[in-house]
Structure 1
Amino acid sequence: MTKPYLIEFPRLGGPDIGYLSVAEQAQLLPFRIERVFWTYYTPETIVRGRHAHYRTEQVLVAAAGRILVTTEMPSGELQVYVLDSPHLGLYIPPHVWHTMQYSEAAVQLAFVATPYEEADYIREYTEFKKVWASKQP
């Protein structure tokens, strides 16, 4: 089972002119993008996400601010990622429970492999543990 991992996008430019980062379809992104969404103006006290997917994979980028992403594998393995640079992305494969907490000015950009489909979401933590328990070695 694939684990979440960080992706470093090219960082072109410099402090004197600014930067540009690029994510081309055949490079760095492990899937074809079917959906893009962004999250912003989220109060710092709110924890978003709190779900897993059956088949959706995605890459999260902090386009601005800082985002703390906590992931949990079906095995129970926890990882915490700090996204605080717009040239870093976090790949989240299917079957991974994830939550996000944002700094006040954070803007999260998400590149997603599937169109939105409510049936793909596992929104209850106990259901997440139950669904994947039978698939553990």
Structure 2
Amino acid sequence: MKQTNLDDVQIINIPKISDEEGRGNLSVIEKDCLDFDIKRVYYLYDVPSDAYRGGHAHKALYQFLIPLSGSFDVILKDGKSTKTVTLNKPDKGLLIVPGIWRELENFSAGSVCLVLASDVYKELDYIRDYNQFVLSKS
């Protein structure tokens, strides 16, 4: 697993095109927006406000989280530090690099979290036990 820390996680602005006639906005994610090829796309929705998602880290996978609607918090841990990021703007996404523990919570009503991933689902890439995660970082 890559030796990453919370400084490697970043908010990325997604280009936003505003309509001059007031018909709304359009955001585009193209090749130069992310440093990885997108191999999997999925989204979370209808998550109860008291539920939590995530609770794992990845050994090699990069993920880009976008709040298409509503808001939610992403709790990030690198084994030493913890940081909470609130995502609530569809033109700002969170790039989570390998080796970072993530938990998603506090979903607002109607929230939708789009995830762009650097690879297809591979169970062997997951670390689902936090104590094992901390040991892998030392």
| TM-score normalised by length of structure 1 | 0.91
Letter in 2 for 1:99: E
Counterpart-to-counterpart distance in 1, 2:81 and 2:9: 11
The CA RMSD over aligned residues, in Å, is 1.2
The number of residue pairs the alignment matches comes to 131
Q: Secondary structure of the equivalent of 1:119?
A: helix
- 2:127 paired residue among 99, 103, 122: 122
- 1:79 paired residue among 74, 79, 83: 83
Counterpart-to-counterpart distance in 1, 2:82 and 2:29: 27
* Residue 74 (structure 2) aligns with: 69
Counterpart-to-counterpart distance in 2, 1:82 and 1:28: 21
- 1:18 paired residue among 17, 20, 24: 24
* Residue 9 (structure 2) aligns with: 4
Shift in Å, 1:114: 0.7
Identity %: 31
Measured against aligned partners, the alpha-carbon deviations of 1:117-137 in whole angstroms (never above 9, x if no partner) come to 01100001111011111xxxx
Shift in Å, 1:113: 0.1
* Residue 108 (structure 1) aligns with: 113
Measured against aligned partners, the alpha-carbon deviations of 1:43-93 in whole angstroms (never above 9, x if no partner) come to 01011100000000010000000010111113x121111110110100000
Letter in 2 for 1:19: N
Q: Secondary structure of the equivalent of 1:42?
A: coil
The answer to whether 1:93 aligns with 2:97 is yes
Shift in Å, 1:105: 1.0
| TM-score normalised by length of structure 2 | 0.91
The runs of 4+ residues in structure 1 deviating greater than 4 Å are: none
* Residue 49 (structure 2) aligns with: 44
Shift in Å, 1:13: 1.2
